[in-house]
Amino acid sequence: SATLYIVPTPIGNLDDITQRAIQTLAAVDWIAAEDTRHSQKLLQHFSISTRTLSLHDHNEDKRVAMLCQRLKDGESVALISDAGTPLISDPGFVLVRACREQGIDVVALPGACAAITALSGSGLPTDRFLFEGFLPVKVQARNEILQRLQDATCTTVYYEAPRRIVATLQDIHVLLPDRHLVLAKEISKTFEAYVSGNAEDILAWLDAEPARQKGEFVLMVSPAVKDKQSVPGEALSLLSALCEELP
């Protein structure tokens, strides 16, 4: 059978596509794209005339059987999303899982990813991190996830839509008013910015110019600082009881 290629595309600056990505997109029989019209602009820019078909959250299950069959028949496929690395808060998981299960070769190309780029430019610890993708829309589910920040032992990375960035920062302000955050905005684009401070500082920055609330955001939250107060009370009293027993 032929190979499924996972091909990252730029997250802003078109020069961030790799030579291997361009060669692969030009060479395969099909490009499966999240939004074919959107991707057509990118493909035209690089003079790639490969046929496209759509693969998005709403048709992925149906499309997978058809794509696996084409791959088995010897037709190669490249999967792309609207921007960045497919499968990272983007469609493709069902397809890759099916290919792996059916013994179809999968080759994932390295490339642009907003979460990784934001993290590497943030100044926050990078030795360990938790990528949470988009926060849920429903209030209770959101709060449950934000609560976990209280005891976070590593940097947490979120994707956030412009229409929700202010609300999310307000929620974090209530929960963790002193926590250090970094907001990465419009990475690799004209108005790229990294803003750091607590939630209130970042809200003030967003508020200063309405245009600042537009665009694409990665929100990163530093780990909780461990101090004496953060040791649970139960553990402390157990510790002192144990100390009393020592000779």
Per CB under 6 A, residues contacting ligand SAM are 11-12, 81, 83-85, 88-90, 113-115, 159-161, 184, 186-189, 216-218
Q: Which amino acid is at 47?
A: S
Closest approach, Cβ 10 to ligand SAM, in A, equals: 8
Tell me whether residue 81 or residue 155 sits nearer to ligand SAM (CB atom). Answer: 81
Closest approach, Cβ 181 to ligand SAM, in A, equals: 14
Tell me whether residue 75 or residue 192 sits nearer to ligand SAM (CB atom). Answer: 192
SS3 labels along 2-36: CCEEECCECCCCHHHCCHHHHHHHHHCCEEEECCH
The residue of the chain with the least Cβ separation from ligand SAM equals 84
Tell me whether residue 70 or residue 83 sits nearer to ligand SAM (CB atom). Answer: 83
In whole angstroms, how far apart are CA 60 and each of 94, 113, 187?
7, 22, 28
Question: Is the C-alpha dihedral spanning 169, 193, 131, 215 positive or negative?
Answer: positive
Closest approach, Cβ 211 to ligand SAM, in A, equals: 15
Closest approach, Cβ 54 to ligand SAM, in A, equals: 16
Tell me whether residue 70 or residue 184 sits nearer to ligand SAM (CB atom). Answer: 184
Q: Match 């956030």 to its residue by tokens.
A: 160
Helix (H, G, I), strand (E, B) or coil at 177: coil
Closest approach, Cβ 115 to ligand SAM, in A, equals: 6
Q: Match 């046929």 to its residue by tokens.
A: 51
Tell me whether residue 46 or residue 134 sits nearer to ligand SAM (CB atom). Answer: 134
Tell me whether residue 70 or residue 111 sits nearer to ligand SAM (CB atom). Answer: 111
Closest approach, Cβ 52 to ligand SAM, in A, equals: 18
DSSP track, 110-135:
P---HHHHHHHHH-S--SSEEEEEEP
**Distance spanning both ends of the chain, measured CA to CA:** 72
Q: Where are the beta strands (DSSP E) in the chain?
A: 4-6, 30-33, 51-54, 77-80, 106-108, 129-134, 155-160, 181-185, 193-197, 217-221
